[in-house]
Every structure is written in structure tokens, then in C-alpha cells.
Amino acid sequence: MKYMFASDIHGSAHYCRKTLEAYRQSGADRLILLGDILYHGPRNDLPRDYAPKEVIAMLNEYKDQIYAVRGNCDSEVDQMVLEFPIMADYCLLALNGKTIYATHGHIYNEETRPPMCPGDVLIHGHTHLPVARAMGECYLLNPGSVSLPKEGNPNSYGILDGSVFTIWDFDGNKVKETAL
């Protein structure tokens, strides 16, 4: 299967539109949202075109194609308006004999790892920084942030196609890539 990973929309209608456009063009089978979907959080500036109600409507159209995990800015009231589950702290995916542990990153991350076997993958958002690299005998992936990237990085998302994870910006430029 081909998966698209996006994190940290933070209520930006502009970047939600761009994310869904990239998803449609990618041919991915599923869109996996790594949390912080509707609210920008008290530590972040408002993202471009902050409009959570528009984001709700856009994402609900794809409810049967989205897997999502809870971010530190997501709450039960967000779940009340989204028509797909968002309150799990993690999602496990199996791919080619590997376990992909998808989470937001505020609970499980490189410093606080979930149980992992050699070859397994930890993918999370939260830091707003794109990462695609080996982490010992495992892999650490982060698609970056679609709406509020940090440290001069571009707005980005990730595509896992077979055993290759690629981080793309919205202009079609490859940001990082790794083979799993």
C-alpha cells in the first residue's frame, strides 16, 4: 500500500486544501494524519487562513480514507465534529514484515520510544521538523508540518511507497528520502 502522512494542520484551511490536493495527486491508498488537526495551540502563531470549520468540512469528505492519531492540541470536542477517529495515541500499520508505529510525537518519540523490533518504523509529527533516517536498527520518520514548519524548513508531507519514504514540499521538491 501507498500511504501519505501529514502532520500539524493546526486549523489552516489553506494548507489542508494543499494537503488534500497532494493526497489526490499522489495516488496514496490512505491519508494518515499525525495529530494537531484543528487547533493551533497556545505556543503557535495562527497559521495561514486559520479556519477550523473549513478544515472539518474538507477532512470529513475523506473520512473513509483517513487514519488519524491524537496530537497534544486535539481534544474530545474536536472528535465531536470530525467523522473519523482521532483520539488514539498511536496507530500500528504492518508493511512488508515491518511494524510502523504512527503517533503524534508528544508521548512517543526518539527519546521515549514505543516497543520496537529491528527494522520497525517510528513516524511522528509534533516537532514540525522533517526527518527520514535510521535510528539504530529502526527508522525515525517525521513528515514535518503542513502549516507551521520550523527552523526554516518548507511546509511538507511524507509519502511511503513500498519501502521508500519521501518528504515533499508543496512545490513538488523532494526534501528528504530514505529506504526502509
pLDDT of 173 reads 98
Please tell me what DSSP assigns to residue 50: B
Q: In which domain, by residue range, is 126 found?
A: 2-179
pLDDT of 116 reads 94
Work out the average pLDDT over 12-32. 98
Mean pLDDT of the chain, nearest integer: 96
Query: Is the predicted pLDDT of residue 165 greater than 90, yes or no?
Result: yes
Question: Where are the alpha helices (H) located in 29-176, listed in sequence order?
Answer: 52-60, 76-81
The CATH code of the domain that includes 85 is 3.60.21.10
pLDDT band at 45 (very low <50, low <70, confident <90, very high): confident
Question: Where are the alpha helices (H) located in the chain, listed in sequence order?
Answer: 13-26, 52-60, 76-81
pLDDT of 28 reads 98
Work out the average pLDDT over 54-81. 97
pLDDT band at 102 (very low <50, low <70, confident <90, very high): very high
pLDDT of 98 reads 87
Beta partners for residue 98, in sequence order: 95
Number of domains in the chain: 1
Tens of pLDDT, residue by residue over 111-157, are 999 999 999 999 999 999 999 999 999 999 999 999 999 999 999 99
Query: Is the predicted pLDDT of residue 68 greater than 90, yes or no?
Result: yes
Query: Is the predicted pLDDT of residue 96 greater than 90, yes or no?
Result: no
pLDDT of 62 reads 98
Least Cα distance to 153 among 144, 162, 161 occurs for: 144
